[in-house]
Amino acid sequence: MINMTEKHRRGLMLVLSSPSGAGKSTISRQLLDDDPDLIMSVSVTTRAPRPGEQDGIDYHFITEETYHQMVAANGLLEHAQVFDNFYGTPRDLVEKELNAARDVLFDVDWQGTQQLGENARDDLVTIFILPPSHDELAVRLRKRAQDAEDVIAKRMAKAADEMSHWNEYDYIVVNDDLEKAVAEVKAILAAERLRKKRQVGLSAFVAELCR
């Protein structure tokens, strides 16, 4: 007999995007701390590990040859070159987690989100985090990094470019009050987990109810 209180569901892929400074890292950290069924996606990269970085935790560090093989074999759900290094999201690792009823959190920009949408739309839930105002975004960028004013100005311009893609996302959360924003993301996650397409064995369960 099917017991629907047990985990009979396929995990989902949760994308959080935002302009730098809107609070995406802060919100992600809280979600991951509070929810053992949510795990962070670990990317592959061809760059060398930095001091303190651990293989399999911060990144899977791979050679360029392996990277190109993965791309050719369609083994990456999305990939990009950033400066001289290559990065990507390994398809098989994500699939393993989804099959084990775990949700995978992604910290990718709008371009990565578009690629994920092309390769895994059914599993994908996308949220765009906005700051409450232009001025508050500038305050948060200043608070986080003691950067020179010209660096802040560049970040603000980049933020405007990122924010222009807000309409490509499923949900918009304005991060004014942090606790409220975290609660809103959790509510989205809770509802998306209950979508019937993610609940495995529903037909058999209902058939048994109606016997």
Pairing type for strands 44-45 and 85-90 reads antiparallel
What residue type is assigned to position 194 of the chain?
L
Task: Name the residue nearer to ligand ADP (CB basis): 178 or 187.
Answer: 178
- Residue 128, judged by CB atoms within 10 A of its CB (0-12, 13-18, 19+), counts as buried
Strands (E), 117-196: 124-130, 171-174
Residue 23 contact, options ligand ADP, ligand 5GP, none, Cβ 5-8 Å cut-off depending on partner type: ligand ADP
> Under DSSP, is residue 48 helix (H, G, I), strand (E, B) or coil?
coil
> What mask, x for binding ligand 5GP by CB under 6 A, covers residues 75 to 94?
---x-x-x----xxx-----
Task: Name the residue nearer to ligand ADP (CB basis): 93 or 137.
Answer: 137
Residue 75 contact, options ligand ADP, ligand 5GP, none, Cβ 5-8 Å cut-off depending on partner type: none
Alpha-carbon distance 50 to 58, whole Å? 10
CB of 136 to ligand ADP, least distance (A): 7
Residue 102 near ligand ADP by CB under 6 A:
no
Contact residues: ligand 5GP, CB under 6 A: 43, 47, 78, 80, 82, 87-89, 108, 112
